[in-house]
Amino acid sequence: MAAAACNCASGFCQTCRDTKLQRYKNVGADVLKHLMEIHFPLKIEKDLNQLHKDTLESVAVAKACKTVVLQNSQFKYLKTHLKRVEILCDREAEKLANLINEGCRVYDNWEKIDFNLVQCLLIDRRRLSVNQLYRAQEFAWCLQYEDVIRKRNGKPTEPFYSEEKFERIKAFIKETGIIEDVDHDQKQITAMCSRLQRELVMNPR
């Protein structure tokens, strides 16, 4: 006799869990191993790709929303329009305006965000929210977030090399004059360091 349908909010109460468990118990060990080894990892990957796609869609929607609203508004600022025309309270207007403005900033500064994220190999951009992409405009935030991921993954934060050797390498780079060659441009310096990183990783010996 089939189990009665459960109407719990979570879909994962004790009854739901027991029902799922029993269903999977009946499919056989080979199918279960296939699900664990192939199906679910691929599904997670697919879900991440879809999540990122949806996030970027919301960025485009935010840009379109602000553009269209302000084109037809007597007000210069989105929050003011939301308060005066849409009759939202101050808190709701500020929350919605911040959400839309962050999406617009991501839209307008995507090349900078993309450039920063490329330098941080531990960050999977597909997992980032609109707010996190907005924060990724600042390279310092990217480095801090990458350090959080490193600690979460149990990877050592302290280098295996001595600080003295690192300072010698840094001094040598400056002595070559290459920093002056790019006129101390941070973007050019970052690109150069990224290239050096790739070369060393690909040819460590």
* 79 falls within a domain: no
pLDDT of 157 reads 57
pLDDT of 1 reads 43
Q: Comparing C-alpha atoms, which of 57, 100, 54, 58 is closest to residue 77?
A: 100
pLDDT of 142 reads 92
Residue range of the domain that includes 166: 159-205
Q: In Å, what is the CA distance from 191 to each residue of 88, 111, 115, 166? A: 45, 14, 9, 19
- Tell me how many domains the chain contains: 1
* 201 falls within a domain: yes
* 204 falls within a domain: yes
> CA–CA separation, 44 vs 108, rounded Å?
30
Q: Which amino acid is at 50?
A: Q
Q: Which amino acid is at 125?
A: R
pTM of the model: 0.65
* 177 falls within a domain: yes
* 171 falls within a domain: yes
Structure tokens at 27: 């499919």
pLDDT of 55 reads 94
> CA–CA separation, 27 vs 17, rounded Å?
16
Structure tokens at 17: 């869990």
- Using 70 as the pLDDT threshold, list the residues of the chain that sit under it: 1-5, 155-160, 198, 201-202
Structure tokens at 41: 């990892």
